[in-house]
């Protein structure tokens, strides 16, 4: 397609978008009829940003002939399609070759079926489409965003299928990407954050596959060869190991054809076997990295229950009260705002396929490290014992239920939600049921769930700084002092 033809078509599409939005704005916002000016999207990014708030999702699902699971939502507000392929091919599948999954994923668009990296990039650029890939602990992603008109979508799909069918993993690209990853690892050795995160993962997970460094090590990366990438791709980037999520201005028949086309381009193969379940530490375990810095970074955590457990919602809301709710959370209020012991502090629960780590992260001046650690551990122990107040739960529920609008605020948000539902085998109405469960949770349920599943005596602690912190309470407190939560 010539550049002139492309620009002409793109201008026509954007003109149509502007026209539709003018009409829509007049229909839904009569109060602005007297406004002097109006602003309309003039780029793909602005078109995406203009999408509406939370929508009811009519999720269709099926399986392709090759065995890929498909989830589809038709949204006709914008002439766009978002496609996400989710593979059970994250770093937990690296085995004894740390970094293998990340390298394989990073090289997908570096050469395929005889096309070079520049030809692939130019091909998508000329269509106004975006192709992407990323690798995580559980999953690997391949994504495509395109205008839905067949003139643009068809060649974008053809190029995507060509990449999936025959990635070349060129030797020069492997050398280049591997060098870039090694340079990244060397840079991480100069700053504390990435080092303590890696140490925490290794301390908490030990020999479990989640303990493998996702980006590899300086020792492991040179050992990964081109044949290793090909073998990993053939084993894990298979039709039977894929979830295909499709969102946008595409009806079900066309979505079925799209999914079938991409699924057929993948190698044949079955779904990857389940990972072993991660367990909490049997006893307290800690690891310190000596590092010449003015700050000490500390991460604390343990294993709790996954999202399929009946108590998960109670823990989720409890975590929001304790450390996940920003400045309103107990940790931020007590450790930072009232006592000024840290620069930042928060907690999270991250449900994955074979683990759900509860984690606290904080950064503090070296002189405050002992008190910050001691107070944090004391607050955790007290919160597990007492649980939240009625008012804290009410505020958490109001915030969490109110924020659910963002889960369907854009096509990219919906396609991400569909990918997770398919990958983790969640019910199609999971997000709606999750919201209802959050709204119904009680302080008593949260307290009971905390006592059952979060053991503050079996924690993994990783730290980095000039010396290992030794937990002690602030000078104006003693072992019998309780903080008002």
Percent of all residues in the chain with a pLDDT value above 90, rounded to a whole number: 84
In a domain, 50, yes or no: no
Does 384 lie in the same domain as 318? yes
Mean pLDDT of the region 21-30: 36
Same domain? For 384 and 246 the reply is no
What value does the mean pLDDT take over residues 41-59? 55
Domain presence at residue 386: yes
- The pLDDT assigned to 242 comes to 98
Say if residue 35's pLDDT is above 50: no
Residue 94 or residue 10, greater confidence = 94
Q: Which residues contact 36 (CB under 8 A, 6 or more apart)?
A: none
Q: What's the average model confidence in pLDDT over 31-58? A: 46
Residues 447-454: what's their mean pLDDT?
Answer: 98
Confidence at 475, pLDDT banded by 50, 70, 90:
confident
Residues 36, 87, single domain; the answer is no
Q: What is the pLDDT of residue 55?
A: 58
Q: Compute the average pLDDT of residues 458-468.
A: 98
pLDDT tens for residues 100-148?
999 999 999 999 999 999 999 999 999 999 999 999 999 999 999 999 9
Do residues 31 and 77 both lie within one domain?
no
Same domain, 149 and 36: no
In this structure, what CATH number is given to the domain that contains residue 133?
A: 3.30.830.10
The predicted pLDDT at position 481 comes to 60
pLDDT > 70: what percent of the chain?
87
Of residues 226 and 54, more confidence is placed in: 226
Rounded Cα–Cα distance for residues 117 and 111 (Å): 5
Provide the pLDDT for residue 406: 77
Domain membership of residue 420 (yes or no) is: yes
Mean pLDDT, the chain, whole residue set: 90
Domain of residue 11 covers 3-40
Residue 275 placed within a domain: no
Q: How many CB atoms lie within 10 A of CB 2?
A: 8
Instruction: With cut-offs at 50, 70 and 90, classify the pLDDT of residue 407.
Output: confident
Say if residue 249's pLDDT is above 80: yes
Query: Residue 436 domain-assigned?
Result: yes
Pick from 47-51, 188-192, 301-305: least confident: 47-51
User: pTM for the whole thing?
Assistant: 0.86
Would residue 278 count as lying in a domain? no
**pLDDT score recorded for residue 135:** 97
Per-residue HEC secondary structure of the chain comes to: CCHHHHHHHHHHHHHHHHHHHHHHHHHHCHHHCCCCCCCCCCCHHHHHHCCCCCCCCCCEEEECCCCCEEEEEECCCCCEEEEEEEECCCHHHCCCCCCHHHHHHHCHHHEECCEEHHHHHHHHHHCCCEEEEEECCCCEEEEEEEECCHHHHHHHHHHHHHHHHCECCCHHHHHHHHHHHHHHHHHHCCCHHHHHHHHHHHHHHCCCHHHCCCCCCCCCHHHCCHHHHHHHHHHHCCHHHEEEEEEECCCHHHHHHHHHHHHHHCCCCCCCCCCCCCCCCCCCEEEEEECCCCEEEEEEEEECCCCCCCCHHHHHHHHHHHHHCHHHCHHHHHHHHCCCCCCEEEEEECCCCCCCEEEEEEEEEHHHHHHHHHHHHHHHHHHHHHCCCHHHHHHHHHHHHHHHHHHHCCHHHHHHHHHHHHHCCCCCCHHHHHHHHHHHCCHHHHHHHHHHHCCCCCCEEEEEECCCCCCCCCCCCCCCCCCCC
- Tell which wins on pLDDT, 148 or 15: 148
Q: Is residue 227 situated within a structural domain?
A: yes
pLDDT (tens digit, 9 = 90+) per residue, 255-307? 999 999 999 999 999 999 999 999 999 999 999 999 999 999 999 999 999 99
Q: How many domains, the chain?
A: 3
Residues 147 and 230 in one domain: yes
Calpha distance 156→146 (Å, rounded): 7
CA dihedral angle for residue 215, residue 219, residue 222, residue 225, rounded to 10 degrees: -70
| 478 has a pLDDT exceeding 90 | no
What values do phi and psi take at 238, rounded to 5? -105, 160
Residues 250 and 346 in one domain: no
Statement: residue 446 has pLDDT above 90: yes
Shared domain check, 65 and 35: no
| Cα–Cα distance measured from residue 164 to residue 263, given in angstroms and rounded to the nearest whole number | 9
Please tell me which residue, 323 or 485, carries the higher pLDDT value: 323
Cα–Cα distance between 170 and 185 in angstroms, integer?
A: 22
Q: What mean pLDDT do residues 44-73 have?
A: 76
CA 453 to chain centre: 24
479: pLDDT confidence band, cut at 50, 70 and 90? low
Average pLDDT of the segment spanning 400-427: 91
| Contact yes or no for 475/306 (Cβ under 8 A) | no
Q: Are residues 34 and 65 in the same domain?
A: no
314 in the same domain as 171: no
In a domain, 52, yes or no: no
Query: What is residue 482's predicted lDDT score, i.e. its pLDDT?
Result: 65
Asked if 192 and 305 sit in the same domain, the reply is no
Same domain, yes or no, for 80 and 194? yes
pLDDT tens across 344-390, in order? 999 999 999 999 999 999 999 999 999 999 999 999 999 999 999 99
Write down the residue that tokens 């704005």 correspond to: 25
Mean pLDDT of 419-443: 96
pLDDT of residue 358: 98
- pLDDT at 303 (0 to 100): 97
How confident is the model over 18-40, as a mean pLDDT? 35
Task: Give the span between the Cα atoms of 107 and 111, in whole angstroms.
Answer: 7
């Amino acid at each position: 397609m010539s550049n002139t033809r492309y620009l002409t078509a793109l201008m026509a599409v954007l003109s149509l978008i502007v026209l539709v939005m003018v009409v829509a704005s007049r229909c839904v916002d009569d109060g602005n009829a007297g406004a002097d000016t109006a602003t309309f999207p003039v780029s793909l990014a602005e078109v995406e940003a203009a999408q509406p708030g939370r929508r009811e999702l009519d999720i269709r699902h099926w399986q392709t002939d090759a065995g890929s699971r498909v989830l589809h939502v038709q949204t006709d507000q914008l002439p766009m399609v978002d496609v996400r392929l989710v593979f059970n091919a994250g770093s937990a599948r690296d085995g004894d070759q740390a970094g293998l999954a990340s390298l394989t994923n990073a090289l997908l668009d570096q050469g395929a079926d005889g096309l070079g990296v520049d030809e692939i990039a130019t091909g998508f650029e000329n269509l106004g489409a975006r192709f992407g890939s990323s690798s995580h602990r559980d999953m690997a992603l391949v994504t495509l965003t395109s205008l839905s008109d067949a003139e643009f979508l068809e060649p974008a799909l053809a190029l995507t299928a060509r990449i999936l069918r025959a990635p070349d993993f060129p030797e020069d690209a492997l050398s280049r990407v591997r060098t870039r990853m090694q340079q990244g690892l060397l840079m991480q050795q100069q700053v504390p954050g990435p080092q303590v995160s890696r140490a925490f993962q290794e301390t908490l997970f030990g020999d479990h596959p989640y303990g493998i460094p996702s980006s590899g090590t300086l020792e492991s990366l040179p050992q990964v060869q081109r044949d290793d990438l090909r073998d990993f791709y053939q084993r894990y980037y298979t039709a039977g190991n894929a979830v295909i999520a499709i969102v946008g201005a595409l009806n079900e028949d066309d979505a079925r054809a799209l999914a079938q086309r991409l699924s057929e381009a993948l190698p044949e193969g079955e779904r990857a076997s389940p990972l072993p379940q991660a367990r909490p530490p049997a006893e307290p375990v800690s690891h310190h990295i000596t590092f010449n810095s003015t700050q000490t970074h500390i991460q604390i955590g343990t294993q709790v229950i996954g999202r399929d457990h009946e108590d998960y919602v109670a823990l989720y809301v409890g975590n929001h009260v304790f450390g996940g709710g920003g400045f309103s959370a107990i940790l931020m209020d007590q450790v930072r705002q009232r006592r000024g012991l840290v620069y930042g502090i928060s907690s999270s629960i991250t449900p994955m396929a074979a683990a759900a780590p509860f984690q606290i992260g904080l950064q503090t001046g070296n002189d405050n490290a002992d008190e910050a650690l001691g107070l944090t551990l004391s607050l955790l122990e007290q919160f597990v014992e007492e649980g939240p107040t009625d008012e804290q739960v009410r505020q958490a529920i109001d915030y969490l239920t109110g924020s659910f609008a963002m889960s369907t605020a854009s096509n990219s948000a919906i396609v991400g939600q569909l990918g997770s539902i398919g990958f983790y085998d969640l019910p199609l109405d999971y997000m709606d049921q999750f919201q209802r469960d959050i709204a119904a949770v009680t302080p008593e349920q949260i307290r009971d769930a905390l006592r059952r599943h979060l053991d503050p005596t079996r924690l993994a602690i990783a730290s980095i700084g000039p010396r290992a912190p030794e937990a002690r309470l602030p000078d104006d407190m003693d072992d019998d002092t309780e903080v008002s939560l």
